[in-house]
Amino acid sequence: MKTWQDNRERAWFTLAAWVVWGILLSTLAGSAPTVAAAASDSLVQLEKQVQEVAKRAIPATVCVLNPPGSGSGVIISEDGYVLTASHVSAGARNDKVRLILSDGRQVDATALGANRTRDAAILKIDEPGPWPHVPMGRSSELKEGDWVIALGHPGGYERGRTPPVRLGRLLGNVDGPFGLITDCTVIGGDSGGPLFNVHGEVVGIHSSIAASTAQNRDVPIDVFHRDWDVMLKGRRWGKLAQMLIPAGAGYLGVVAEPLDDGKGLKVVEVEKGGSAEKSGIAVGDILVSFDGYQLSNTYSLVESVAARLAGDVVKMELRRDGKAMTISVKLGPRPGESADTEHADWDLPSEVDELLDPMSEAERPSPEEGKSDAQKNSEEKSEKKTATKGKPTRIPLSALLPPSYFAENSGVRRGNEKPSKYQKKHPSVLGAFRSVAARAALSTVAVLNGSQPLALGTLVNRRGDVITKASELHGDLSIRYPDGTVQPCRIVGVHEQADLALLRPDVAGSHGGVPARWNRQPKPVGSLVITPDWRGRVLAVGVVSVASRRPRSARAFLGIATEDRPDGVMIVQVVPSTAAAQAGIRVNDILLKIGDDAIQSVEDVFAAIAKHSPGEKVEIHVRRSGEELTLHATLKTPPNMTARRFEEMNRMSGARSSRRSGFPQIVQHDAEIPPLACGGPLVDLDGKIIGINIARVGRVETDAVPADWLEPVLTELESGKLPPPEDFGRDDEAVRKEIAKTKAEIRRLQRRLRQLEQQLRGAPSGK
């Protein structure tokens, strides 16, 4: 295992080492006679502002459902006008989308106008208000270094989770393609969500990200102010920029347009020599499904193709001259890629440099009063013709990709990334929190295997016992205490569900540390949190994103599409190779029960599946030809692009914990900590420990076990009732790496053996 110093992805660990105890954050505090008092007052004021913004913003932040994907939006008026990103509402069937409010209510909304060039769009809720809403501010008033707050639905709507709150700072404000740039982290599903200033005004709408967690891009709110009247009239103009598809993704080579009824795509161009042409797809064909997924709009094809790798063979259903056909298609590599680029580095190809230049807005129309509907319809048709005219681009379908469908990479290696003076992980920012976390740092230790750090730990009593993250433990364990001494230790107990272990040193004593001082009162969303290390440095700061809750497990997937019919909920599609198909569920079956839940509407289907996890076996009751049947399905994880894309975004945004789910209770925050910092304390602004960091989950999320839940767990661990399993601490990952290394060496020796045998066969006789 690499040490902290050797690991480039964790190089910023050392950035705060030189920070003087009394450094102040310039934007937090003005001049003041005493360092501690000024910093404390400024931090308290910031915390109050974020908490107040969160309280007002959560009810107004919505999830925008536009199959096959989802995004976010924000209500900005009592009568239900909603701001979002244009790629979130684009392609909506009959211009209708579904909104889910933070309290779970669902309402329909109509897509109005859109400035596609700037990724801005407006929706209007169909039902009358009043609706919870927030005011619009002015992005032109923002300055670099200003604190900003992001909300949205990362990964899509999640039952029981309010829109997570995230805190960051403005790093750039330019009139270019990405407008506002912040280190207020967002990810797929957040697109269209709001960015607030500390006064609770919307100043931006989330648009795209790069690999760096300091590259989160928002549409400036001034774009909406300027184009408001035009978009309210339903005008849509401009073109989204070409963005990246993950390396190694499949390529079909067609340009297709959606049918008016939403039941397929008409092929208008077929690339010469591409996978589509080789498989027999022709201009005029109607593409109905791809690998079992129904194609309702262009995005459904984009996502489905990009979810498969080059070389994959998939089944496609199509119609030709009214006749249904099924063909096999072997996807090729994207132009400019070879078939073996699945694990290529995330470097930007040269042509994407164009994205970094300001986009021309010459196409932006001025408000046009008095135009008839006929004129507008004529213009819309003309725009569509122009958009499809001419030769296909290098990646035909990628021109339709929205900025955050596939996260593009800034080309900056995380190991070389140094925070700017405005970033929240700059030493000056972290230093402002150091005195707050000083006492908690004395309760923080490092857990080692020999000389290599495994995790942080939290000192829980004067005997020197330490609680830490269990799944990271292996080898010869020892504890490095605040006074610098290293004590060998043993594992007293393991709480496997919470992933916590209690360590006891061979030599009792606190060794320069002090036992944890807990705050077991739940902190409001928006509260500032700090993660210290055993040296007294501040590793990261953030806010409570979601209140303490029992987290939802990974999404389960059955593999059916359903419709409400007079005689019940009918299954209209069964996706091949899924749990439904393997259980024997068929199209036209009437769905009666999933597990213990009776099914009376399509909404009941989603609710019932959401109660289960991948891998669970569930009874499915259906009615088929008048007969009731009981089938058994083993649920799986979603195989679609949404899951893969979300995983890619998280993977490229930095190292994550090996175990990051399945905990019984968590408090979610947004502090960007390395996995090695798990097991250590999460500290509030009073310097008290509100939880134990348990997992770096992804780009926008770190989870902690809350302090109020820890008390009975500690009692159990200290009692000896939870001894470690016999095979606990076995380093399976090291064994897997050694196996892979050995196999690679065997392959190399086999190649060398074949070369020598060929030389021997080709040698002259007698030699």
Is 191 an active-site residue? yes
- The residue-averaged pLDDT of 607-636 equals 87
Q: What is the 3-state secondary structure (H, E, C) of 610-626?
A: HCCCCCCEEEEEEEECC
DSSP letters for 457-480:
EEE-STT--EEEEGGG--SSEEEE
Condensed to tens digits (0 to 9), the pLDDT of residues 5-41 reads 333 333 332 233 222 223 223 333 332 222 333 346 8
Nearest C-alpha neighbor of 73 from the set 134, 27, 26, 8? 134
- The residue-averaged pLDDT of 152-176 equals 88
What pLDDT score was predicted for residue 376?
A: 47
DSSP letters for 191-229:
TT-EEEETTS-EEEEEEEE-SSTT-EEEEEHHHHHHHHH
Q: Which of 42, 87, 300, 511 is catalytic?
A: 87
- The residue-averaged pLDDT of 405-420 equals 43
Confidence of residue 408 (pLDDT cuts 50, 70, 90): very low
Confidence of residue 295 (pLDDT cuts 50, 70, 90): confident
Q: Judging by DSSP bridges, how do beta strands 106-115 and 236-237 pair with one another? A: parallel
Nearest C-alpha neighbor of 663 from the set 609, 722, 621, 706? 706
Distances in whole angstroms, Cα of residue 61 to Cα of each of 47, 88, 136, 139: 20, 14, 13, 19
Q: Give helix 434-441 / helix 35-60 axis angle, nearest 10°.
A: 90
Under 8 Å CB-to-CB from 766, ≥6 apart: which residues? none
CA distance 707 to 418: 33
Are the CB atoms for 283 and 269 separated by under 8 Å? yes
CA distance 501 to 487: 17
Extract the tokens encoding 402: 């929205």
Q: Give helix 298-306 / helix 641-652 axis angle, nearest 10°.
A: 60
Q: Which of 72, 102, 191, 527 is catalytic?
A: 191
Quick one: residue 250, left, alpha or beta (phi over 0 = left, psi -120 to 50 = alpha)? Answer: beta
Beta bridge partners of 452: 449
Q: Look-up: residue for tokens 């954050």? A: 25
CA distance 252 to 262: 21
Are the CB atoms for 327 and 315 separated by under 8 Å? yes
Inter-residue long-range contacts of 345-352, CB under 8 Å, 24+ positions, other chains counted: 346/211, 346/247, 346/409, 346/411, 346/652, 347/409, 347/411, 348/244, 348/408, 348/409, 348/410, 348/411, 349/244, 351/242, 351/394, 352/242, 352/244, 352/408
CA distance 727 to 370: 77
What pLDDT score was predicted for residue 212?
A: 80
Q: How many CA atoms lie within 13 A of 402 on its CB side?
A: 32
Beta bridge partners of 405: none
CA distance 161 to 700: 14
CB atoms within 10 A of CB 420: 15
Q: Which of 70, 89, 102, 119 is catalytic?
A: 119
Q: Look-up: residue for tokens 């974020």? A: 50
- For residue 740, give the amino acid letter: A
- The residue-averaged pLDDT of 560-582 equals 86
Under 8 Å CB-to-CB from 139, ≥6 apart: which residues? 173, 179, 180, 203, 204, 220, 221, 222
Q: Look-up: residue for tokens 């000192």? A: 459
CA distance 703 to 696: 7
The count of residues in the chain is 767
Is 119 an active-site residue? yes
Work out the angle at residue 434's Cα, subtended by the Cα atoms of residues 433 and 439, and round it to the nearest 5 degrees. Answer: 115
Give yes or no for residue 388 having a pLDDT over 70.
no
Are the CB atoms for 201 and 76 separated by under 8 Å? no
CB atoms within 10 A of CB 571: 22
Give yes or no for residue 177 having a pLDDT over 80.
no
CA distance 288 to 694: 45
Are the CB atoms for 669 and 702 separated by under 8 Å? yes
- The residue-averaged pLDDT of 564-576 equals 86
Under 8 Å CB-to-CB from 163, ≥6 apart: which residues? 57, 58, 61, 72, 102, 151, 152, 153, 193
CA distance 278 to 281: 8
What pLDDT score was predicted for residue 191?
A: 93
Lowest mean pLDDT among 53-57, 91-95, 224-228, 468-472: 91-95
Extract the tokens encoding 227: 């184009």
What pLDDT score was predicted for residue 303?
A: 62
pLDDT, the chain, mean: 80
Give yes or no for residue 103 having a pLDDT over 60.
yes
Extract the tokens encoding 460: 């829980």
Lowest mean pLDDT among 535-544, 578-587, 643-652, 688-697: 643-652
Are the CB atoms for 580 and 560 separated by under 8 Å? yes
Work out the angle at residue 339's Cα, subtended by the Cα atoms of residues 337 and 341, and round it to the nearest 5 degrees. Answer: 65
CA distance 375 to 234: 13
Is 87 an active-site residue? yes
Q: Judging by DSSP bridges, how do beta strands 466-469 and 452-459 pair with one another? A: antiparallel
Confidence of residue 675 (pLDDT cuts 50, 70, 90): very high
First and final C-alpha spacing in the chain: 49
Condensed to tens digits (0 to 9), the pLDDT of residues 110-140 reads 999 999 888 999 999 999 989 999 999 999 9
Phi and psi dihedrals of 752, rounded to 5?
A: -65, -40
CA distance 79 to 110: 13
Strand, helix or coil at 17? coil
- Give the DSSP H/E element, type plus range, for residue 487: strand 486-495
- Give the DSSP H/E element, type plus range, for residue 64: strand 61-66
Are the CB atoms for 355 and 241 separated by under 8 Å? yes
Are the CB atoms for 310 and 337 separated by under 8 Å? yes
- The residue-averaged pLDDT of 551-559 equals 75
Distances in whole angstroms, Cα of residue 159 to Cα of each of 151, 599, 610, 611, 691: 16, 18, 8, 10, 23
Confidence of residue 636 (pLDDT cuts 50, 70, 90): confident
CA distance 571 to 211: 40
What pLDDT score was predicted for residue 733?
A: 61
Q: What is the 3-state secondary structure (H, E, C) of 542-586?
A: EEEEEEEECCCCCCCECCEEEEEECCEEEEEEECCCCHHHHHCCC
Q: What is the 3-state secondary structure (H, E, C) of 105-117?
A: CEEEEEEEEEEHH
Percent of the chain clearing pLDDT 70 (strictly above): 77
CA distance 450 to 452: 6
Give me the helices (H) in 425-556, please: 427-432, 434-441
Beta bridge partners of 459: 466
Condensed to tens digits (0 to 9), the pLDDT of residues 335-387 reads 656 554 433 333 333 222 222 222 223 333 444 434 444 444 444 444 444 33
CA distance 396 to 342: 20
Give yes or no for residue 615 having a pLDDT over 90.
no
Work out the angle at residue 152's Cα, subtended by the Cα atoms of residues 107 and 171, and round it to the nearest 5 degrees. Answer: 145
Dihedral of CA atoms 403, 407, 408, 411 in degrees, nearest 10, equals 150
Are the CB atoms for 375 and 216 separated by under 8 Å? no
Beta bridge partners of 503: 466, 491
